Structure 1
Amino acid sequence: MIKSRKIKLLKWLAGISVILLMLGISAVTVFAAGDVSSAIESTWTSAQTQIKNVVNNVVFPAVDMILAILFFVKLATAYMDYRKHGQFEFTAPAILFGCLVFSLTAPLYIWTIL
């Protein structure tokens, strides 16, 4: 009985030591060379106009189109439900309309925030 406890203790200690050894081998210290924030800022300033053009001319119109389609589809289904049940559910169309207004006006002020 004492011998089996010693074997269990040795197996347990061996397992813990293997885990600690693997942790020590895989934990590599990484140091940043130089000032990282200035490198990020210089990259942003050089690519800022391209990013703005892509976002203003591609991303926002795509989001606007998707939201407009969803708004009109939801408005039509809400109207059909109104004709069927006599109760107009305006929550989902109102939320979609608010999101559409937000995304349509976002290019005017989003770049001053960022």
Structure 2
Amino acid sequence: MKKFMKIGTLLCVVLVFTFALTSPALAAGTGDVAAAVESTWDDASVQIKDVVNNVVFPAIDLILAVFFFAKLGMAYFDYRKQGQFEWAAPAILFACLVFTLTAPLYIWDIIGI
């Protein structure tokens, strides 16, 4: 019985916070929901573009650069061990790195922002 009381209390707290912290999204006086969504998107698209250009793409670039140099080092050690250099994985990582480094220049024209 004590277990059900804890679960019930937790459920009530979650519901109270859910109702307290949510706000209704209402369209302006005419009730035109499409216009409200479009105006919100117009305002938010600039912020989304800035966040993606300044945070997301640099993070992806950093990860790909680390993987590229790690894979290049591993390929070199494999070359020293076996006498054959595998170019496929470093080439793919390099192509992905170049793609993500140049993506902010053209990706927004493709998406339409």
Is the pair's TM-score, using the shorter chain for normalization, greater than 0.5?
A: yes
SS at 1:89 equivalent:
coil
Alignment of 1:28-107 (within 5 A): 37-107=34-104
Distance 1:93 1:80 in 2: 13
Quote how far apart the aligned CAs of 1:40 are. Answer: 3.6
Distance 2:78 2:51 in 1: 39
SS at 2:86 equivalent:
coil
Distance 2:82 2:56 in 1: 38
Distance 2:86 2:51 in 1: 37
| Compared CA separation, residues 45 and 83, structure 1 to 2 (3 A) | same
Greater Rg over alpha carbons, structure: 1
Off by >3 Å, runs of 4+ in structure 1: 34-40
Quote how far apart the aligned CAs of 1:43 are. Answer: 2.2
SS at 2:81 equivalent:
helix
- Corresponding position of 1:110: 107
What residue ranges of structure 2 are gaps of 5+ in the alignment? 1-30
CA RMSD of aligned residues (A): 1.7
User: Sequence identity of aligned pairs in percent?
Assistant: 72
Deviations 1:56-100 (A, max 9, x none): 000000000000000000000000000000000000000000000
Number of aligned positions between the proteins: 82
Q: TM-score, normalised by structure 1?
A: 0.66
Q: TM-score, normalised by structure 2?
A: 0.67
Distance 1:98 1:37 in 2: 40
What residue ranges of structure 1 are gaps of 5+ in the alignment? 1-33
